[in-house]
Amino acid sequence: MKVVIPLADGFEEIEAMSTIDVLRRANISVTTAGIPGTIVKGSRGTQTIADRKLSEIDMNSFDALVLVGGYPGYVNLSKSNQVLDAVKSFNAKGKTIAAICAAPSILAKAGILDNRKATIYPGMEKDIPRPRPGRVVQDGHIITSQGPGTAIEFALKVVEALAGSGASAKLRRDLVC
C-alpha cells in the first residue's frame, strides 16, 4: 500500500507526524509531498522536509490520500487544484481518502461529502454537509477525524482500512492505546 500526504505551509504537526509514524510502523509506504516545495513550515513553526514536491508526484500511483489540518495549512491545501483533483479522482476510484481536523472541508469543497457522514474540527460543522459527532467517522472509503488529540486513533483507522484490523490491533497494543 502506498499513501501520499500533501503538506502545505501551516500544516498541523501532531496530525501529520503521528499519521506518518503510525502508517510507517504498519509497513505502509508513505510519501510526503510539499506544496509548493519540499521545505514546509508547520502551524507551530516546525520546519519539515517533505519527500517530494507535490508537482512531481503522480497521484495515480497511490492507494490512499491523507489530508491533515492546521491553520493555514488546510486553506493552502484547498487552494491546490492538484489536491482537489486528487480528492475527486480517488473518490471516483473508491480509493481510501482520510482527512483530519479542518481538512474534511477540503473534501466538501471537492464535492465528495454530499451524501456521506463525516466529522470535522469542533465549531466547523457548517463547513461539511452532513456533520456527525465522533472522534473518527468512517463512511465507506472516506475517514474523517476531529483534530490533534484524535491523530493516533485516526491513523489507526487508516491502517485498519489499508492493512486490516489485525495490523491496526497490533499497533494499538504496541503503542499502548
Along the chain (177 residues), what's the average pLDDT of each consecutive run of 10 residues? 98 98 98 97 98 96 98 98 98 98 98 97 97 97 98 98 97 95
Please report the pLDDT score of residue 37 as a whole number: 96
* 177 included as an active-site residue: no
Please report the pLDDT score of residue 59 as a whole number: 96
Q: List the domain boundaries for the chain.
A: 2-174
Dihedral sign, Cα of residue 168, residue 143, residue 82, residue 15: negative
Dihedral sign, Cα of residue 159, residue 163, residue 165, residue 166: negative
CATH class entry, domain 2-174: alpha beta
Please report the pLDDT score of residue 89 as a whole number: 98
Active-site entry in 35, 65, 97, 101: 101
Please report the pLDDT score of residue 133 as a whole number: 94
HSE on the CB side for 6, CA within 13 Å? 32
114 is written with which cell numbers? 454530499
Please report the pLDDT score of residue 164 as a whole number: 97
Please report the pLDDT score of residue 6 as a whole number: 98
As beta bridge partners, residue 31 has 4
